[in-house]
Amino acid sequence: MSTARLQVNLDALAQNFHRLRQRGAQSLPADCVAVVVKANGYGLGMHTVARRLYQEGCRRFFVASATEGGQLRGLLPDVHIYVLAGAARQTLGDLVAQRLTPVLNTLQQCELWSTTPQAGPAALHIDTGMHRLGLSWEDDLSQLPALQLDLLMTHFARADEGRDTLRCLQTQRFADSVAALRDGHHDVLVSLNNSAAVLTDQVTPESLLDASDGPRLDRLGIGLYGVNPHTEREGATAKQALANVATLEGQVLQVRHVKAGATVGYGSTYCVRAPGRLVTIGAGYADGVPRLLSNQGHVFFRGRRLPMVGRISMDSLVVELTDETASACDIDEGDWVEIFGPNLPVEEVAQQAQTIAYEVFTGLGSRLQRLS
């Protein structure tokens, strides 16, 4: 039995899925929403997450690689699976055999897929200012080889910012690219919005896309898992709309009384200032607790935040209770404490660890007991 566990609330996951589909008084049809389950469902368990979202009506999924696509295909044989890495010679066999849809990012990928026997539909990624993956909006798209396209997509670079000055420009560039491709691909889906764009409070610039440019497909990622993707205070209302999905907990291994002057952990980086108790928790950086939380993070137990002291170890961390706190906090061996979750938001934990919630989630250890 593990001394660290991850609780995944699938009802909350479903709630977020339907919340993110909302458009005023109406909801987008399930076929106009895709979910991103790459990196093992953002660290929470791809199979568990995908199975529940399938039950909620989702039929379109994004993964990073053909390997992930094959794993998902084995679970859900009748869904549409997009592979963000696109097509490569070494993955062609898997893409075709598993009926995966590559998101083509380069002219070379387009040429490769167009000459692949039994190749199915593909998606085309237009880079409108991210400069990461995709054909540039400045490319002559009329030179593309013959392809059966079912999706045109782009990716906003700064939708997580309250004042995204690039978003309208990216949308206009994408609209121009869609127009250049429209004659040969009349029924293609178009996709701009990620979670941050869906949840933004600003007026959407999607009006720059004409209705004739095709039906929209929103791509739901981090927001689906209960995380506010916004980096500024403007995202506070978005957070209130999302339910907590993931809770990381560690079990109390030992409670010891210590005197003032006792030092804690490797390097003795913390010195106890007054008599109290040290509580050792069975969760460490091997379980995904960021080491940068050493001497600054907290755990939550029965209404109280207890400070982490000393360096976080591979398998454990230590929290301190002063005598005053201990009298009101009856903690003992076998108890479970929250490391992040409804009382300690993962966004706050990530900020303390000088990172983002995406990295905290995807860094969760494989030995964690995952419960849902």
> Residue ranges per domain, the chain?
10-232, 246-371
Mark whether 266 is an active-site residue.
Answer: yes
Q: Are 294 and 268 in contact (CB under 8 A)?
A: no
The pLDDT, as a whole number, for residue 163 is 76
* The model's pTM: 0.93
What is the spatial distance between Cα 50 and Cα 262, in angstroms, rounded to a whole number? 48
One DSSP character per residue, 194-251 reads -HHHHH--SPPGGGGS-GGG--B-EEE-GGGGT----SSGGGHHHHHTS---EEEEEE
E strand spans, 234-296: 246-258, 263-264, 270-271, 276-281
Task: Clarify whether 38 is annotated catalytic.
Answer: yes
* Per-residue pLDDT tens digits of the chain, which is 372 residues long: 899 999 999 999 999 999 999 865 567 888 889 999 999 999 999 999 999 999 999 999 999 999 999 999 999 999 999 999 999 999 999 999 999 999 999 999 999 999 999 999 999 999 999 999 999 999 998 889 999 999 999 999 998 887 778 998 999 999 999 988 987 777 899 999 999 988 875 445 455 555 555 688 999 999 999 998 886 645 445 556 799 999 999 999 999 999 999 999 999 999 999 999 999 999 999 999 999 999 999 999 999 999 999 999 999 999 999 866 666 688 999 999 999 999 999 999 999 999 999 999 999 999 999 999
Q: Which of 82, 225, 266, 358 is catalytic?
A: 266
Residue 307: strand, helix, or coil: strand
Assign domain 246-371 to a CATH class.
Answer: mainly beta
Contact 76, 93 (CB under 8 A): no
Query: Are 10-232 and 246-371 in the same CATH fold?
Result: no
Q: What is the DSSP letter of 31?
A: G
The pLDDT value recorded for residue 202 is 43
Q: What is the pLDDT of residue 174?
A: 94
Out of 38, 42, 225, 285, the active site residue is 38
Q: Which fold has domain 10-232?
A: TIM Barrel (3.20.20)
